[in-house]
Structure 1
Amino acid sequence: MKSRQEIVDRVAEVNTQFYGAIEDGDIDLMRRVWAEEDEAPDLVCVNPGWPLLRGRAEIMRAWMLVMANVPYIQYVLTETNIGVSGDTAMVTCEENVLTAEDDSPGFVAGGRVVATNLFVHTTNGWRMWSHHASPVMLDDDDEEE
């Protein structure tokens, strides 16, 4: 039986793979990160500004669109916390996002998003069950800091 720290480390690794898949445009890695429908029914994904995505096929189509249309994206995760209960784990974090929205050199936009990523332990290891990300609305005082 694995220790709690070993489980937390493995969940952290899969969470890192999730963001790495987006940054690298690696749809194969994204497919490996997400659970299969028979391992975690009712897979869901909510990206900022998108409608609710339900089911593995719909979620993978959306990630393919993101990867095909975002020339550059980088995540710096902060305030990361991992909770584990049995075969379920929850990662909460702040996604500090840098992105280029077109091919213009040096054009980078930034933003802060809070995310909750749920993972389930399967026969293939820890896999994503749900991703929910919501933008943080900054007020004028936050922007000056």
Structure 2
Amino acid sequence: MPPTGDAMVKTQALSSQAPETETAEGDTHQHEHGDTDVQDVLAANRRFYQAFADRDVAGMEALWAQDRDVRCVHPGWPVLSGREPVMRSWRELLGNPRSPGVRHQSEQATVCGDVGWVVCEEFVANTALVVTNLFARSGGGWQMIHHQATPISSIAAFEDASGYEDLNGRPPTLH
């Protein structure tokens, strides 16, 4: 949804560069690195990955919105709609001792009004994924309303398709 009126879009990748803000008219402006909304969305994203890595069901449930429609698309799964099916999936995944560990990198956060999203790379076992995590501002801070993880078919395919640069002007790479 494009910004309207005075809505501002704030984007920041984790880097030493200041984040850019794009106005509704398409003008881009630099803002200080510590933009509060973007930093808060990045912090919520890190809480998600910490709960995921720690298998912290209570932490995961606290992060997901309770008063909004939520959705989740785990790799290879159909879309889960509604809080109960989404939370049930996380309870099953986090409670399974055979579930592999997870790590993430290359977070890029964007905020538009009361909605923020993070696109990053996620690694589960030997699988690389591209992830979008969507957050909505509520009285209790930023709450997750959508998670979607999509496998990257192969590093070679990823590199072939990535003749594009990231926000820092670097070609995307997997380590």
TM (norm. structure 2) is 0.66
Q: Which aligned pairs between 1:1-145 and structure 2 lie closer than 5 A?
A: 5-36=35-66, 38=67, 40=68, 42-71=69-98, 72-78=100-106, 80-98=107-125, 110-138=126-154
**Aligned equivalents of 1:132, 1:111: Cα separation in 2:** 15
**Aligned equivalents of 1:120, 1:142: Cα separation in 2:** 30
Runs of 4+ off more than 4 Å = 139-143
**Aligned equivalents of 2:141, 2:38: Cα separation in 1:** 12
**Aligned equivalents of 2:157, 2:111: Cα separation in 1:** 35
**Aligned equivalents of 1:21, 1:94: Cα separation in 2:** 17
Q: Based on CA coordinates, which of the two structures has the bigger radius of gyration?
A: 2
One-letter code aligned to 1:73: G
**Aligned equivalents of 1:76, 1:69: Cα separation in 2:** 20
When the two chains are superposed, the root-mean-square deviation of aligned CA atoms in Å is 2.2
Aligned length: 127
One-letter code aligned to 2:105: L
Aligned match of 1:102: none
Identity of aligned residues (%): 36
**Aligned equivalents of 2:97, 2:79: Cα separation in 1:** 20
Q: Counterpart of 2:154 in 1: which secondary structure?
A: coil
Q: Determine which structure has the larger helix proportion and give its number.
A: 1
**Aligned equivalents of 2:117, 2:131: Cα separation in 1:** 10
Contact 2:104 2:120 in 1 (8 A): no
TM (norm. structure 1) is 0.79
